[in-house]
C-alpha cells in the first residue's frame, strides 16, 4: 500500500500532520518539498484586491491542484 501524508522535518525527525497508527514500524520514503517563496504581485501586474478576487474565483480548482501527483507540474520550466 502507498499512502501520502504531510509532515514537517525537525531535528532529524519527521513529524506527521496526520497520525498513522497502522503504519507504526513501516518503511517510508520521504520526499522533500521546497518551501514556497512569496509572490511579488506588482511584478505580476496585480494588486492585493485583484489577487484576492483571483484566489476566490480559482478556489474551486484547489482540490485538483493540491493532489500530490500534480506536483510534477511545479518542476516545469516557465515558457
DSSP state of 67: S
**How many CB atoms within 10 Å of residue 59?**
9
Number of H helices, E strands in the chain: 2, 2
Q: Note the pLDDT of residue 33.
A: 81
For 29, phi and psi rounded to 5 degrees? -120, 125
Give the best-scoring range by mean pLDDT among 8-12, 35-39, 46-50.
46-50
Query: Minimal CA–CA distance to 33: which of 63, 12, 6, 3?
Result: 6
Lowest mean pLDDT, pick from 15-19, 60-64, 69-73, 75-79: 75-79
Give pLDDT tens digits for 41-73: 999 999 999 999 999 999 998 888 888 888 888
- Residue-level pLDDT at 34: 79
> Which residue is it, cell 513501516?
26
Amino acid at each position: 500500500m502507498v499512502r501520502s501524508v504531510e509532515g514537517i522535518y525537525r531535528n532529524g525527525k519527521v513529524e506527521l500532520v496526520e497520525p498513522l497508527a497502522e503504519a507504526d514500524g513501516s518503511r517510508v520514503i520521504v520526499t522533500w518539498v521546497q518551501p514556497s517563496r512569496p509572490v511579488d504581485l506588482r511584478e505580476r501586474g496585480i494588486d492585493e484586491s485583484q489577487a484576492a478576487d483571483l484566489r476566490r474565483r480559482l478556489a474551486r480548482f484547489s482540490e485538483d491542484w493540491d493532489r500530490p501527483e500534480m506536483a510534477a507540474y511545479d518542476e516545469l520550466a516557465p515558457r
